Amino acid sequence: MFSAHTVSVVREAEYALMARVPDGALMRRAAAGLAAECVRLLPRVYGSRVVLLVGGGDNGGDALYAGALLAARGAAVRALLAGGSAHEGGVGALRSAGGRVRKFADGEADGAEMFDADLIVDGLVGIGGRGGLREPHAALAVLASNAPVPVVAVDVPSGVDADTGEVVGAAVRADATVTFGTHKPGLFVDPGAERAGRVRLADIGLGPELPGPGLVCPQAVDIASLLPTPGAESDKYRRGVLAVRAGSDPYRGAAVLCVGGALRTGVGMVRFGGGKGVADQVIGRWPEAVADFRDPQSSTDLSPGRVAAAVIGPGRGTHPANADELRALLDSDVPVLVDADGLTLLTGDGGGPLAGLLRERTAHTLLTPHAGELARLLDADRADVEARRLEHAARAADRFRCTVLLKGSTTVVAHPGAPAVANPTGTPLLATAGSGDVLAGSVGALLASGLPAREAAMCGAYLHGRAASLARGGAPISASDLLDALPLAVAELSRSRRV
């Protein structure tokens, strides 16, 4: 599990550590870690050409000291200073090692050194960056990103907000980022994550000074250790029965995909409730599901003894009868996942009473909005939600007192009082109709198997993303392809289980 800490937490830990180590020791450690990554990225060190982009702070200092280490090994290192001043000790060290230093003039559009380089090191700004990049930093960031040369970012790609992943204006697009002491949340959350490339942590001895993380990014072994595995004593009831309230006459496919997502993730049984037309379609595709042909709004089968969890919302509709159905579920003690139309029913003043019920629940409750749905739930702007995904997911989790899985280019999970989760899997190919219905069924299955809402959400998001990568070997996929690939993703994780 990768851990990330916000800038203010990192600063506090750094002050505590600096009091115990000699002056300049942390920067030397950081520079050594950075230089090691540069060596990995260069075809060879001796004779290679390295360009350092250097801002006025310690981020630039790291780049200069790492450049000095490379110059001492025979690399031709040139530093372009973005501001009037740069870390004095770093400039001195680079010059003593044979490196060259020049100021990058305001308005200069050339930066020819960059196009001839073997490696560019981005030390413009790190965790001290505030707001969008100013000039000439912004121009340098654009030139570096456009040069056909590998870029390694120092601590964070310049222009990416270390806490949120937000990018305002120009930002460096790095092939690799060497981050110091601990990961920063913005390296795991788009749009920042997409700018960071491969992220490597350089240990500078900060660990003992750090409190618990503000964000975690689970890896395959972490998800594998959470996933329930059926044992010899398992039967369909012990593995979990999931109630699915999805689909309606105009949206029958949503029911088929949601039930399929649950079955292909692994669940004891799916009990589908809905009108006859939809139920026929579900049973036609999934004969292993059990359809409740009673009054679809009936909640008589929703006692915790009969079902272990319920999913409601995909393609279900927003009629008063659907609100009654949601109310009955929220009134029960069964873990509930609310998606799509279910979220619309919770929105605005009209959704006030249902949202009130939601807040009072003690059973596990999970909302799975995309950015547009979350914006409506919070009465916020969709672009703001997309720019600062963590902040908005956390706000919704606090407001509704439940777990929130925000779908998107980085899926994040927020849960009151727990570290946020950034999902590392997924591809833009997941943005396809019905993909969310599959996810709802899949996470519902994990809830039914007994995982708490936060863990079910992080495992389901991980599997869904892996399934998208495994399906059709990277070719465009439909939601049905995801169903075929989900068991492969589960099997892959089982193989990575710690022994």
Q: How far is the CB of 154 from K ion (least distance, A)?
A: 4
Query: Any known ligand binding at 130?
Result: yes
Instruction: Rule CB under 6 A: choose which of 127, 278, 396, 493 binds ligand NAX.
Output: 127
Q: Which of 33, 55, 99, 296 binds ligand NAX (CB under 6 A)?
A: 55
> Beta strand pairing status for 412-414 and 420-422?
antiparallel
* Cβ-contact 168, 142 below 8 angstroms: no
**Binds 127: which of K ion, ligand NAX, none (CB < 5-8 Å by kind):** ligand NAX
Binding of ligand NAX at residue 89 (CB under 6 A)? no
Nearest residue to 63 via CA among 114, 55, 146 = 55
Should residue 495 be labelled a site residue for ligand NAX when binding is judged by CB under 6 A?
A: no
Specify the residue, 30 or 396, whose C-beta has the smaller distance to ligand NAX.
Answer: 30
Task: Answer yes or no whether residue 180 interacts with ligand NAX by CB under 6 A.
Answer: yes
| Single residue of 53, 66, 69, 133 touching ligand NAX by CB under 6 A | 133
Interaction of residue 161 with K ion, rule CB under 5 A: no
- β-pairing, 151-154 vs 119-123, is parallel
Return d(Cα 279, Cα 268) in angstroms, integer.
19
Task: Select 12 or 384, whichever has its Cβ closest to ligand NAX.
Answer: 12
Q: Which stretch binds K ion (CB under 5 A): 100-108, 126-134, 242-250, 337-345?
A: 126-134
Note whether 314 binds ligand NAX by CB under 6 A.
no
213 makes contact, choosing from K ion, ligand NAX, none, with CB < 5 to 8 Å by partner type, with none
In the list 48, 158, 299, 435, the residue contacting K ion (rule: CB under 5 A) is: 158
**By CB under 6 A, what part of segment 3-42 binds ligand NAX?**
14, 18, 26-27, 30
Residue 200 interacts with ligand NAX (CB under 6 A)? no
Amino acid at 157: P
203 is written with which tokens?
């240990």
479 near ligand NAX, judged by CB under 6 A: no
SS3 308: coil
User: Which residue from 38, 53, 62, 400 is in contact with ligand NAX, where contact means CB under 6 A?
Assistant: 62
Q: Which is nearest to 164 in space by CA: 183, 180, 130, 187?
A: 187
Instruction: Indicate which of K ion, ligand NAX, none lies near residue 137 (CB less than 5 to 8 Å, by partner kind).
Output: ligand NAX
CA dist 104 and 85 (Å) reads 11
Q: How many CB atoms lie within 10 A of CB 433?
A: 11
Residue 133 interacts with, from K ion, ligand NAX, none (CB under 5-8 Å by kind): ligand NAX
Q: Confirm whether residue 127 is marked as ligand binding.
A: yes
For residues 121 and 152, the answer to whether their CB atoms sit within 8 Å is yes
For residue 7, state whether it binds K ion (rule: CB under 5 A).
no
The count of chain residues that interact with ligand NAX, using the rule CB under 6 A, is 27
Which of 24, 131, 284, 305 is the binder for ligand NAX (CB under 6 A)?
Answer: 131
Binder of residue 122, out of K ion, ligand NAX, none (CB less than 5 to 8 A by kind): K ion
Q: Where are the alpha helices (DSSP H) in 198-275?
A: 220-226, 236-239, 252-265
Size of the residue set binding K ion (CB under 5 A): 5
Cα–Cα distances in angstroms (integers) from residue 472 to residues 72, 254, 281, 437, 483, in the given order? 48, 22, 26, 20, 12
User: Which residue is associated with the tokens 């990961």?
Assistant: 183
Question: Is 192 near ligand NAX (CB under 6 A)?
Answer: no
Window of 51-59, 110-118, 309-317, 485-493 that interacts with ligand NAX by CB under 6 A: 51-59
- C-alpha angle 363-368-373 in degrees, rounded to nearest 5: 130
> For residue 310, which of 339, 281, 341, 345 has the smallest C-alpha distance?
339
Q: Is 57 in the site for ligand NAX (CB under 6 A)?
A: yes
**HEC-encoded secondary structure of 27-88:** HHHHHHHHHHHHHHHCCCCCCCEEEEEECCCHHHHHHHHHHHHHHHCCCEEEEEECCCCCCH
Residue 243 makes contact with ligand NAX by CB under 6 A: no
- Closest to K ion by CB, 126 vs 214, is 126
Q: Least Å distance between CB 208 and ligand NAX?
A: 15
331 is in an annotated binding site: no
Sequence-distant (≥ 6) Cβ neighbours of residue 328 within 8 angstroms? 297, 299, 302
Residue 122 binds K ion (CB under 5 A): yes
Distance set, CA 105 to CA 67, 112, 140 (Å): 21, 13, 10
* Segment interacting with K ion, rule: CB under 5 A, options 9-17, 145-153, 229-237, 271-279: 145-153
Quick check: 190 binds K ion (CB under 5 A)? no
Residue found under tokens 């465009």 = 476
| 181 close to 10: Cβ distance less than 8 angstroms | yes
Least Å distance between CB 134 and K ion? 14
Interaction of residue 129 with ligand NAX, rule CB under 6 A: yes
483 contact choice in ligand NAX, K ion, none (CB below 5 to 8 Å, kind-dependent) = none
Minimal CA–CA distance to 465: which of 453, 447, 450, 477? 477
130 binds ligand NAX (CB under 6 A): yes
Rg (Cα) of the chain, in Å, rounded? Answer: 26
For residue 228, what are its two tokens? Answer: 């329930």
129 binds, among K ion, ligand NAX, none (CB under 5 to 8 A by kind): ligand NAX
Question: Which residues of this protein are in contact with K ion, per CB under 5 A?
Answer: 122, 126, 153-154, 158
Question: Which residues of this protein are in contact with ligand NAX, per CB under 6 A?
Answer: 14, 18, 26-27, 30, 55-60, 62, 125-134, 137, 154-155, 180, 204
